[in-house]
Structure 1
Amino acid sequence: MTDDRPLVLMLRTGTRASREFLLRTMAEKYRLHLFTSLEPSWELPYLTGWTSHLTRDPEDTLRAARELHATDPISGVITYDEARVTQVAFVADGLGLPHAGLDAAAACRYKNLTRRALDAAGVPQPRSIQVTSLDEARAAAEEIGYPVVIKPHDLLAGMGVLRVDAPDQLAERYADSTGNPVGGVPDYVYEPLVEECVTGQEISVDCALHRGELTVLCLARKENGFPPYFVEVGHTVDAADPLLRDAALLDVLRAAHAALGYSDGVTHTEVMLTDSGPKIIEINGRMPGGHITRLAQLATGTDAGLVACAVACGLPPEVGTAPGRVAAVRFFSVEEDTTITSIRFDEDALHPAVVEAVITASVGSVQHRPHGTGSGRVALAVAVADTAAECRAAIASAADALLINKD
């Protein structure tokens, strides 16, 4: 029997806990071929094929994609991975398939290019200056005014993002931001941004674009922790969030994507709701992490994986129509360097609205206080309820039910 499902090429994949639920539904409507440097394991039931390929070099990846395309035509190209956003656009462009646009993908991947494009279009955002040395960072911070944020222009997962409240903190935090080795890139050169530290309620908005037309898929309210870093410790998605109908927010989102010239694909945009209105923190040309895709499924019925495949194949996005609910995730981390001797959730203490309580640390492992990324996470809990208050109560019960013994 002929399988007429469209073939989607995926560049790399993620962890089982954060991605399997997406692959499961994607594989129902699309044939999935994975390019990966690691041999697949849990992914195999959802794949129609895979190729051992590093995917770092765009031209080399396009050559491998053309070989596949010659025997089994590819309909779309996607990734979960921030470090493969520009490669997806390059491969899709080379195959004549829908994509964000080469310049748009680069502007999403590199934060300095985001800032230039938004600035040229007058889109509200924090003031930002790119620097190459501590002396330049000092001058930029004085020009912008404290507090400021230091961030690498092209890393991911919060790596090297720190708040600096005063001049006497700058040298230490600049060194922290720029002193970490970047895995797989031994010759990496830091060119960080020094930015205005805007404050307010931080949210993320996931969108799909089809021929330049923007559709909001999901809005999550974010909770950060572990200052001076900006570590994501939780997200809440409310299908009835009034911000989904906020004209000022929607106008800024549309203007930001238009400024980048974004055509076809999905984006994850971080926004700060300040006293003077919404300001764009960053735009990422991929599906979100942080379990937000799972929250969207639970709260709204929208499946980000299916949407990503659809727009990559030139099809309009389908937004969920499930009854509106509230879903939240909380990530639990250690407060100090810790050797885990035992860890579990007390199941009897969990609120009925907790639908997932997952231990992510292994016994005997050494866990560290988060240092600008998701490292140090030892467990997570997901709750879904009819009201935000019930969802908060459920997440609080998970915090109380997590039992850790440590050296």
Structure 2
Amino acid sequence: MKLLAIEARQNATYYVSRYEQIVGLGADLYVLNGEGTDDFWRADRYRVAGSREVAELIAAAKEWHAEERFEGVLTFSESGVLAVAAVAEALGLPGIGVEAARASRNKLLMRQAHERGGAAHPSFRYVTDEAQALAAAEEFGYPVIVKPTLGAASNYVFRADDADELRARHAQAAEGLTELSWYAMEAGGLDLGPHGLLIESFLDGDEYLIEAVVWDDEVYLGSIVDRVTAEGDTFDDDVHHAPTALTPAQVTAVHEVVAAGARAQGLVRSVMHAEVRFHDGRPHLVEIAARPGGGGLDHMARISAGHDPIAAVADVARGVRPDVRHFTPTGVHTAAMCLLPPASGRVEEIHVPDRLVEHDGVFFFKLTARPGDLVRRPPEGNSILGFLGVTGTSFEDAMSTAEDLAGQVRADLR
């Protein structure tokens, strides 16, 4: 299979390991970056369009497609979903369609779709100033969530417990819109929908991360991972565990709300990363992204549930039904977490102990920050140092090992 991966603006080397997984599945993978470095991928399978404008990306993809005859176009980036949909449409290749991509990228359009489709979701309001934010919070009741419509990775997502906190968080999030890297990595010339802030009612229960596939209106929950982070007023997707603690009845309820959300967003054949949170005993949609989850969630899915989200991406991209089944946990305990810097600053050095590298239980370890990188912590951003995933004999064993090893990774910042 011959596939084309696209990033409108290269996100450092973040997706290289996933591109390598695609190659490991037997694919001949070509990479097109709108803006990117020269040495990013194998030279004879890599091109830089020289612009992140969608018209330039389409023109470069068409020229290359005429030479190579790609079977599909793919992305692993939240910022690439719309661009890939537009390129696939222009090349006459399988895709989710631009309208479904827009509804799966812009959080306001996603919420409106959920509302129309009857999928359980928090109350929401698009706001353009502080007064509107305060009025929405008064209507919903505190606490409330502030989030960008075109964000990702919890950047500039805050919880506000009262009006004073909301004023401060709204100002921080509004200022952050101008520096939001996920927005800056979008292709130019596309209608992305409103770029601004939402106020949402707070969902007070536990959160679950799901790797799923929709194929001709049948939704398959490939894996379910429990988010076990102790939360504050900012949100780091930093500690996860599988297999899930959900009961069979709760899994059924989660399946129903994810299926309703997928239909509402217009997703017919797609991989999905769904985030679901319980409220008053019922699952509600936080979001459904039309791409797999990041970090080590693909590894957790394979180990804890026998589901391969990366293989699903390759299959869906070329219009082939993935080898997927309804959620069936393997019983193997896994724990994974983001490695967080202690503060904002520029990385001088990251210290990784030999014990971590050599540990038999480590199934995933990846540093995403390098010396010289600027990392930002809330409220300026949600930068991380990397990811760590381990297996264990029980929930307690896996969590203890992950926390112990993660605590030994140290970053020197200035």
Decide: shared fold, TM above 0.5.
yes
| Residues 110 and 55 (structure 1), Cα distance of their counterparts in 2 relative to 1, 3 Å cut | farther
Could you tell me how far apart the structure 1 residues matched to 2:230 and 2:379 are?
A: 11
1:315 paired to 2:320: yes
1:280 paired to 2:276: no
Could you tell me how far apart the structure 2 residues matched to 1:96 and 1:338 are?
A: 45
Show structure 1 runs of 5+ residues with no match. 1-5
Cα shift at 1:50: 1.7
Aligned partner letter, 1:33: Y
Matches within 5 A, 1:173-322: 173-180=169-176, 181-182=178-179, 183=181, 184=184, 190-224=195-229, 227-238=232-243, 242=247, 246-319=251-324
Aligned partner letter, 1:125: H
State the Cα deviation string for residues 171-193 of structure 1 (Å, max 9, x = none). Answer: 21101111022354899985211
Secondary structure at 2:152's aligned position in 1?
coil
Matches within 5 A, 1:104-123: 104-123=100-119
1:131 paired to 2:122: no
Which of residues 37, 40, 43 is equivalent to 1:39?
37
Q: Which residue of 1 aligns with 2:146?
A: 150
Cα shift at 1:319: 3.5
Could you tell me how far apart the structure 1 residues matched to 2:343 and 2:69 are?
A: 51
Cα shift at 1:157: 1.9
| Residues 366 and 351 (structure 1), Cα distance of their counterparts in 2 relative to 1, 3 Å cut | same
| Residues 252 and 55 (structure 1), Cα distance of their counterparts in 2 relative to 1, 3 Å cut | farther
Question: 1:266, 1:285 within 8 Å by CA — same for their partners in 2?
Answer: yes
Secondary structure at 1:231's aligned position in 2?
coil
Question: 1:131, 1:193 within 8 Å by CA — same for their partners in 2?
Answer: yes
Question: 2:350, 2:411 within 8 Å by CA — same for their partners in 1?
Answer: yes
Could you tell me how far apart the structure 2 residues matched to 1:105 and 1:364 are?
A: 35
Question: 2:49, 2:56 within 8 Å by CA — same for their partners in 1?
Answer: no
Question: 2:296, 2:387 within 8 Å by CA — same for their partners in 1?
Answer: no
Secondary structure at 2:237's aligned position in 1?
strand
RMSD: 3.2
Matches within 5 A, 1:47-58: 49-53=45-49, 56-58=52-54
Secondary structure at 2:153's aligned position in 1?
coil
Question: 1:332, 1:380 within 8 Å by CA — same for their partners in 2?
Answer: yes
Could you tell me how far apart the structure 2 residues matched to 1:284 and 1:212 are?
A: 16
Could you tell me how far apart the structure 2 residues matched to 1:405 and 1:65 are?
A: 42
Which of residues 351, 363, 369 is equivalent to 2:377?
369
Q: Which residue of 2 aligns with 1:326?
A: 333
Could you tell me how far apart the structure 2 residues matched to 1:155 and 1:219 are?
A: 23
1:97 paired to 2:98: no
Aligned partner letter, 2:92: G
Could you tell me how far apart the structure 2 residues matched to 1:102 and 1:402 are?
A: 42
**Bigger Cα displacement from structure 2, 269-278 vs 337-346:** 337-346
Cα shift at 1:339: 6.9
Question: 2:303, 2:330 within 8 Å by CA — same for their partners in 1?
Answer: no
Secondary structure at 1:246's aligned position in 2?
helix
| Residues 123 and 156 (structure 1), Cα distance of their counterparts in 2 relative to 1, 3 Å cut | same
Q: Which residue of 2 aligns with 1:20?
A: 17
Q: Which residue of 2 aligns with 1:3?
A: none
| Residues 48 and 386 (structure 1), Cα distance of their counterparts in 2 relative to 1, 3 Å cut | farther
Could you tell me how far apart the structure 2 residues matched to 1:171 and 1:235 are?
A: 31
Which of residues 376, 386, 397 is equivalent to 1:390?
397
Cα shift at 1:200: 0.9
The TM-score with structure 2 as length reference comes to 0.85
Could you tell me how far apart the structure 2 residues matched to 1:234 and 1:84 are?
A: 26
Could you tell me how far apart the structure 2 residues matched to 1:309 and 1:48 are?
A: 20
State the Cα deviation string for residues 123-163 of structure 1 (Å, max 9, x = none). Answer: 11000011111111111111111111111111222122111
Question: 1:153, 1:193 within 8 Å by CA — same for their partners in 2?
Answer: yes
Show structure 2 runs of 5+ residues with no match. none
Aligned partner letter, 2:361: A
Could you tell me how far apart the structure 1 residues matched to 2:270 and 2:238 are?
A: 27
Which of residues 66, 71, 77 is equivalent to 1:81?
77
Could you tell me how far apart the structure 1 residues matched to 2:297 and 2:216 are?
A: 25
1:7 paired to 2:2: yes
Q: Which residue of 2 aligns with 1:378?
A: 385
Aligned partner letter, 1:332: L
Cα shift at 1:64: 2.1
Aligned partner letter, 1:7: K
Secondary structure at 1:227's aligned position in 2?
coil
Q: Which residue of 1 aligns with 2:167?
A: 171
Which of residues 58, 61, 66 is equivalent to 2:62?
66
Secondary structure at 1:119's aligned position in 2?
helix
| Residues 338 and 113 (structure 1), Cα distance of their counterparts in 2 relative to 1, 3 Å cut | closer
Cα shift at 1:387: 2.9
The TM-score with structure 1 as length reference comes to 0.86
| Residues 135 and 257 (structure 1), Cα distance of their counterparts in 2 relative to 1, 3 Å cut | same
